[in-house]
Amino acid sequence: MILAIDNILTPEELQFVVESLSQANFVDGKTTAGWHAKLVKNNIQLEKTSERSVELTDLVKAALERNLLLKTAVLPKIIHSILFSRYEKGMSYGSHTDNAFMGKWRSDVSFTLFLSSPNTYSGGELVVATMDGDRSYKLEAGSAIVYPSSMLHRVEPVTEGARLVAVGWIQSLVRDPSEREILFELDTVRRSIFAKEGKTLEFDLLSKTHSNLLRKWAD
Ligand SMILES: O=C(O)CCC(=O)C(=O)O
Ligand SMILES: [Fe+2]
């Protein structure tokens, strides 16, 4: 399941992040890519060890953690390895797959949080390869695409302007995307029943099934 989540950041947070990044020092992105992804990675990114990176990482992580849609669809165990990347004119990231592990954490879900307004740059779409063709994404600033880390993906060349994003990886409580999808749908239905009718017997039974499956599938 590929999911678009709008307004992860408030306008104030977005402005803060973008302003902070405008004064930052960016380095070659190849330093954090796997040995094969390095061959096609052509961007620059905020130095991970800088104080600014730690501050912005905490901000983005907190924004993702408070988002209910992300919580129910992704079931995060930990949001790890956030990077702030910049693609200037001519930069791109060719087709690749993300490493299964980053340090000790597994990458089950990848995300791109768009930080530049789409009308400030040309090209730079995130393209995810699905069984029925390529899907192309270029969201409003502050919104994110969330997709299984198992999928091939790329960033199209930027032809004008600059594309600023925060990308990162999540280890989910449930590694299998199809199991996550079942849990997400059950959770969505039970919340909808609760909103309409309150804590009915149907709500209780769906909650029981959701909890029992989560217990069964979580690692
Ligand atoms: O910038 C993006 O949207 C995705 C970048 C990416 O695929 C990566 O950093 O592994
Ligand atoms: Fe990637």
The overall average pLDDT reported for the chain is 97
Domain of residue 50, CATH code: 2.60.120.620
Task: Using a pLDDT cut of 70, give the percent of the chain over it.
Answer: 100
Shared-domain flag, residues 70 and 11 = yes
Does the structure show a pLDDT above 90 at 210?
yes
Q: Residues enclosing ligand 1, CB less than 6 A?
A: 85, 93, 98, 112, 126, 153, 155, 165, 167
210 in the same domain as 114: no
Domain match, 142 and 183 both: no
Same domain as 181, residue 162: no
Q: Minimum-distance ligand to the CA of 167?
A: 1
- How many structural domains comprise the chain? 2
- Whether residues 63 and 92 share a domain: the answer is yes
Q: Check whether residue 80 and residue 29 sit in a common domain.
A: yes
- Examine the domain organization and report whether 114 and 129 are in the same domain: yes
**Ligand with an atom nearest the CA of residue 86:** 1
Residue 218: what pLDDT?
98
Atom 9 (ligand 1): residue with closest C-alpha? 167
Are 44 and 128 members of one domain? Answer: yes
pLDDT at position 27 is: 95
What is the per-residue pLDDT for 34?
A: 87
Q: Which structural domain range is residue 156 located in? A: 3-172
Give yes or no: residues 49 and 71 share one domain: yes
Give the model's pLDDT for residue 47.
Answer: 94
Tell me the C-alpha to C-alpha distance, in Å, between residue 58 and each of 66, 109, 219: 12, 18, 25
- pLDDT tens, position by position, 70-128: 999 999 999 999 999 999 999 999 999 999 999 999 999 999 999 999 999 999 999 99
Note whether 166 and 59 are same-domain residues.
yes
- Alpha helices by DSSP H, 75-218: 177-197, 201-217
pLDDT at res. 187 = 98
- pLDDT > 90? residue 32: no
Residues 141 and 213 in one domain: no
Q: Is 1 exposed, middle or buried (0-12, 13-18, 19+ CB in 10 A)?
A: middle
CB 115 within 8 A of CB 63: no
Pocket test for ligand 1, best of 126, 151, 152 (most atoms within 8 A of CB): 126
Are the C-beta atoms of residues 200 and 152 closer than 8 Å to each other?
no
In one-letter notation, the amino acid at residue 207 is: S
Same domain, 56 and 142: yes
In tens, the pLDDT along 39-73 reads 999 999 999 999 999 999 999 999 999 999 999 99
Judge if ipTM > 0.95.
Answer: yes
Residue to probe by mutation, ligand 1, list 44, 135, 153, 163, most atoms within 8 Å of CB: 153
